[in-house]
Structure 1
Amino acid sequence: MKKLRAFGPHERPLAALLKGRLEQQGVACLLRNEELFAAMGEIPFLECRPEIWVVDDEVLPRARQLVENWLYEDIAAQPWRCPDCGEELERQFDLCWKCGRERV
């Protein structure tokens, strides 16, 4: 098991989001130190940072690439149109909010 990435205490939601996206891509991972923010001040702040750990060392490079792509993709990119209902959606959405169809 290897650490993929550490986050700041204020980035807990981002850590949880990325963990979920990695699991959707078949990457088994754990979110550690998720609740330690409450102990900040009692223990060193660096020990309180949320961390994503990849269970299988062999998929670590793939997991790094996935996270990098998600974090640094072009935010100004064009929205996408749902092929089923025609709804126009912003790039960050993977599912159509109207009909539930996944982006292809």
Structure 2
Amino acid sequence: MHRLLAFSPHERVLAGLLKERLEQEGIACLLRNEELFAAMGELPFLELRPELWVVDAEVLPRARLLIEAWLHPVRTERPWCCPGCGEVLEGQFGGCWKCGRAREEADAGT
């Protein structure tokens, strides 16, 4: 087994979500120290951090790439202007927050 990431104790939920996402991709993994936060003050702090481990070394690079993509997505869509109200919206939005027009309607009109 190989350690992939260590989290702070308050990031237990994130650790669990990443574990689920990796399992959905077919990567066998497990969380260690998941419940040790209750021993805070009794054990050394670094021993309490939840850790995400990958079972097979062959998939470790793929797991790292997937986690990097999930935690730091690259936004490639350009901003767009709603033809209904003129509002400029960021590229990741599929509809105008101001008038409710869908982006497909706006793209078809240009």
Paired amino acid for 1:78? Q
Partner of 2:37: 37
Structure-2 residue corresponding to 1:55: 55
The question of 1:78 aligning with 2:92 is answered yes
The alignment partner of 2:59 has SS state of helix
Structure 1 segments unaligned to the other structure (5+ residues): 82-87, 89-104
- Any idea what SS the aligned residue of 2:5 has? strand
Q: Among all aligned residue pairs of Structure 1 and Structure 2, give the percentage whose two residues are the same amino acid.
A: 68
* AA aligned opposite 1:31: L
Residue deviations 1:22-52 (CA, integer Å, cap 9, x gap)? 0000000000000000001100010000000
Q: Secondary structure at the match of 1:46?
A: helix
Code of the residue aligned with 2:4 in structure 1: it is: L
**What's the secondary structure of 2:26's corresponding residue?**
coil
CA pair 17-77 structure 1, distance change in 2 beyond 3 A: farther
Matches within 5 A, 1:1-104: 1-74=1-74, 78-79=92-93
TM-score by length of 1: 0.73
- CA distance change for structure 1 residues 34 and 77 in 2, over 3 Å: closer, same or farther? farther
SS in structure 1 of the partner of residue 52 of structure 2: strand
1:77, CA displacement in angstroms? 5.3
When residues 53 and 77 of structure 1 are mapped into structure 2, their CA distance, relative to the original with a 3 A threshold, is: farther
Q: Name the CA shift for 1:47/1:77 in 2 (closer, same or farther; >3 Å).
A: farther
CA distance in 2, matches of 1:31, 1:65: 18
* Structure exhibiting the larger radius of gyration computed from Cα positions: 2
Please tell me the root mean square deviation across aligned C-alpha atoms, in Å: 1.9
CA displacement at 1:79 relative to structure 2? 4.3
